Amino acid sequence: MDKFCEEFEQTRPTNNNSDQLISQEETERKLREKLEFELAAKERQITTLVIETQKLQSTLIKIKETSFTQVNTERERKRLMNHVYLFFLFRFLILKML
C-alpha cells in the first residue's frame, strides 16, 4: 500500500503539471485567437485604406485633368480675345488713315 501511495504522490505533481500545461495551452490558444481577430481587423482596415487611397488618387487625377483643361481653355480664350482686339485695333487704324 505504501508503494501505491508513493506512486500516487509521484503522479500527482505530473497531473498538476499536466493541468498547468493544459491551462497554459488554453491561454495560448485564447491569445492566438485574439491576435488572429486583431490581425483580421487590421487587414480590413488596410483594405479600406487602400480603396480610399485609390479613390483619392482617381479624384486627384480628374482634378488635374480638369484644371489642365480649364487652363488651356482660358489661354485659348485670351488668345482669341487678343486676336479680336488686334483686329479691331488695325481696323480702327486703317479707317483713321483713310
Per-residue pLDDT tens over the stretch 26-80: 999 999 999 999 999 999 999 999 999 999 999 999 999 999 999 999 999 999 9
Return phi, psi of residue 20, to 5°: -65, -40
Query: Which pLDDT score is estimated for 66?
Result: 97
| C-alpha angle 68-74-76 in degrees, rounded to nearest 5 | 100
pLDDT of residue 40: 97
All three cell numbers of 34, joined, read 485574439
Reported for 29-34, long-range contacts at CB under 8 A and 24+ positions apart, including other chains, are: none
pTM summary value: 0.55
